[in-house]
Amino acid sequence: MPGRDTRFWTLTGVAMLAALAVLPLVANDSVKFIVGLAIIEALFALSWNLLFNYTGIASFGHAAFFAVGAYLVGIGQRHGWPVPFPAQLLGAFLAGSVMALVIGGIALRRATGIHFAILTLAVAEVVRMLISYSAYVGRDEGLAGIPRPVIDFGVTTLSLKSVNAYYWLILVICLVLALALWWFVSSRHGRATRSIALDAERAAFVGIDVYRMRLLSFTISGGVAGICGGLSAPWVQIVTPDLSHWLHSAQPMLNTLLGGSAYFWGPAIGAFVYAFINYSTRTLAGLSELMIGGILIIIILSAPMGIAGALAAAQRRLSRNYGEGSP
């Protein structure tokens, strides 16, 4: 069971969070950039795992929602829509969730398993192609030079132009949404979707509306992925059709399995470890794929519980030894 010793995990979590919060004061801009992106990818992976572990659905085109959110905010900022930034982020959330509602509403009725996986992959490819054929959003080159926003509160303004300010915004929003997801999976709805993941037939038997609960998860997950994209656009300052590429759809899967899909925070751990590997192998073309692919294979073959699983096992061993040693 994850989280047997809650105090250990709470302390680890608070320590990591504190480290993330003070990072802008000590690190240089490129490290801040990587970590900021990793925070967004962590939330993106958490939204994917809401489907994978907590509902039993494998989405292979999750990047489509991310891309739609990113483009919405990217266009809004770049073309200077007269819409305040918080409303744009909300728009990214709504766009992602409405899209998921429509796709899921049709597809979850008819396709499951491998077919659903391929279907979502194809949808993401269609999104990528439509974006790259549209002149308004800059075709294959995408939209570059997206400015970071200034939020106007009437009496005062909050400028997010600086790297530090936007970094903290990312951290706060991602943390709030991650906690909201956590709340969802521990709620009775979350337990219902979890039972569907374990055995859909039995869940239907005890009176759970499998289709509706799957659709609920898919909609929430799509919305969160959309807001991840929306947050990333002013941070990276460029959006390209590759945001919807299936390699990007693979990102949350990699992070989730790397970190451990059975643990709620596993995907987030995976996202940071992945970012670290990627950053340290960036110099040689192909080395990062080699490392990531190799690590993933090793994890699937020998440690399917991921890093969080390995950590939990080590922690259990430690506390057992400690318990024996003390009087």
Whole-number minimum distance, CB 91 to other proteins, in Å?
26
Cα(146)–Cα(144) distance, integer angstroms: 6
| 64 vs 178, beta carbon nearer other proteins | 64
Cα(90)–Cα(117) distance, integer angstroms: 27
User: Rg of the chain's alpha carbons, rounded to an integer?
Assistant: 20
Q: How far is CA 52 from the centre of its chain?
A: 12
* C-alpha closest to that of 192 among 176, 179, 205: 205
105 binds other proteins (CB under 8 A): no
310 binds other proteins (CB under 8 A): no
118 binds other proteins (CB under 8 A): yes
135 binds other proteins (CB under 8 A): no
10 Å CB burial of residue 141 (0-12, 13-18, 19+) is: exposed
Select the span of 20-28, 117-125, 148-156, 202-210 touching other proteins (CB under 8 A).
117-125
Classified as helix, coil or strand, 57 is coil
Cα(124)–Cα(107) distance, integer angstroms: 14
Whole-number minimum distance, CB 117 to other proteins, in Å?
7
Tokens coding 75: 């266009």
| 106 vs 172, beta carbon nearer other proteins | 106
Cα(312)–Cα(318) distance, integer angstroms: 10
292 binds other proteins (CB under 8 A): yes
What angle do helix axes 246-259 and 266-280 make, rounded to 10 degrees?
110
The one among 21, 83, 101, 107 contacting other proteins by CB under 8 A: 107
284 binds other proteins (CB under 8 A): yes
Q: How many chain residues interact with other proteins (CB under 8 A)?
A: 42
Binding site for other proteins (CB under 8 A): 52, 58, 60, 106-107, 110-111, 113-115, 117-119, 121-123, 125-126, 129-130, 133, 246, 250, 253-254, 257, 284-294, 296-297, 300-301, 304
